Amino acid sequence: MAMTSVVFDERTLQAIEALKQTFGVSTNAAVIRKAIALSRVVGQHADEHNNVIIAGKDDAIKVNLAT
């Protein structure tokens, strides 16, 4: 497995910490791997304008992946 080093600002580090609980993982690397996998799935299901609809427990939102 290749190793890459990155520097994150404090806001991004806080988001990664929150995602550890959401994803049920304990490392930053695991969060990033899951986020990349999720991004690939979302990207594969986007329409021709790079839009996806994400349905939540209460409502749905439209997200444009290019912006």
What pTM value is reported for the model?
0.82
Binning pLDDT at 50, 70 and 90, where does residue 1 land? Answer: confident
pLDDT digits (tens, 9 = 90+) for 3-50: 899 999 999 999 999 999 999 999 999 999 999 999 999 999 999 999
Q: What is the structure's pLDDT at 11?
A: 98
Per-domain residue ranges of the chain: 10-64
How many angstroms separate the Cα of 25 from the Cα of each of 1, 56, 61?
19, 22, 26
Residue 43 amino acid letter: G
